[in-house]
């Protein structure tokens, strides 16, 4: 299954219409900038096509209680692919030695548990299972965060960060420079964090949440 650029944007428009919302209303309902889905945002300044981010897609599906299969049908792709199995590791174990290399790619995944995922993904994609309530209300105990170490990381993305001290955390990228990385906590009871670039072992983007 592979939706085209046009099909995805058409699917978003049809989803908004089916819920009685404008495109800006759909964006606001999902906690996004009201202009996120404007037609003017679909082409970059350099003339390249802009695809909606996976995080944005996940938010609108959750906000409208829509499954990925329902979205695919609205977008013009009724095919239901066989679920793929991706490696699953408890988030609490992610900081231990032996599970990731120095660049944040998973190691020894044949010994990990696994979860079904409805779409084909790259070989390096994996999932981390949340334990506890430290990331509520964004993520709850038992949620599975699907992580892509190859995906581009941009401001506002939710990411997994491992520090050189071995701590692993899930935060929102607020700002990134050559010297510092500013991270916003998902739980307002926990403070935001500023790390020196030298303190970060690796970062990887959260591309999906399986609840």
Q: Please state the domain count of the chain.
A: 2
pTM (2 d.p.): 0.64
The domain boundary residue, chosen from 26, 55, 74: 74
- What Å distances lie between residue 134 and 23, 43, 91, 166, CA to CA? 32, 38, 12, 18
Same domain for 113 and 150, yes or no, is yes
Cα–Cα distance between 139 and 94 in angstroms, integer?
A: 17
Q: Are residues 160 and 132 in the same domain?
A: yes
Give the integer Cα–Cα distance in Å for 53 and 36: 10
CATH of the domain at 172: 2.10.109.10
What string of pLDDT tens digits covers the 211 residues of the chain?
Answer: 567 888 889 899 999 999 999 999 999 999 999 999 998 888 888 888 888 888 899 899 999 998 887 888 878 755 555 678 999 999 999 999 999 999 999 999 999 999 988 777 788 999 999 998 889 888 999 999 999 999 989 999 999 999 999 999 999 999 999 999 999 999 888 899 999 999 999 999 999 988 7
- Tell me which residue of 5, 46, 41 sits closest to 23, measured CA to CA: 41
Q: E strands of 93-135, at which residues? A: 113-117, 126-129
Which of 13, 47, 74 represents a domain boundary (last residue)?
A: 74
Q: What is the pLDDT of residue 63?
A: 92
Domain span including residue 21: 5-74
Question: Within this chain, do residues 116 and 136 fall inside the same structural domain, yes or no?
Answer: yes
> How much is the pLDDT for 81?
57
The Cα 161–Cα 159 span in angstroms is 6
pLDDT of residue 80: 55
Beta strands in the chain (DSSP E): 84-90, 113-117, 126-129, 144-148, 158-163, 168-176, 180-184, 193-196, 200-210
- Cβ distance 170 to 158 under 8 Å? yes
The answer for 98, left when phi > 0, alpha when psi is -120 to 50, beta otherwise, is left
Looking up residue 54, the CATH number of its domain turns out to be 1.10.260.40
Distance (Å, whole) CA 118 – CA 71: 12
């Amino acid at each position: 299954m592979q939706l085209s650029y046009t099909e995805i944007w058409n699917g978003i428009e049809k989803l908004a219409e089916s819920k009685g919302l404008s495109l800006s209303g759909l964006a606001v309902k999902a906690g996004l900038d009201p202009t996120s889905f404007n037609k003017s945002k679909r082409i970059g300044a350099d003339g390249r096509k802009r695809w909606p981010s996976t995080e944005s897609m996940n938010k609108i599906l959750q906000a409208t209680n829509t499954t990925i299969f329902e979205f695919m049908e609205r977008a013009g792709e009724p095919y239901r692919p066989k679920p793929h199995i991706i490696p699953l590791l408890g988030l609490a174990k992610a900081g231990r030695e032996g599970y990731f290399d120095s660049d944040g790619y998973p190691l020894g995944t044949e010994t990990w548990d696994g979860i079904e995922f409805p779409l084909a993904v790259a070989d390096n994609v994996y999932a981390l299972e949340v334990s506890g309530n430290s990331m509520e209300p964004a993520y709850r105990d038992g949620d599975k965060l699907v992580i892509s170490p190859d995906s581009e990381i941009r401001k506002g993305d939710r990411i997994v960060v491992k520090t050189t001290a071995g701590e692993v955390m899930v935060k929102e990228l607020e700002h990134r420079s050559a010297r510092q990385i500013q991270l916003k906590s998902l739980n307002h009871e926990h403070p935001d964090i500023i790390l020196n670039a030298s303190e970060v072992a690796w970062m990887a983007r959260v591309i999906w949440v399986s609840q």
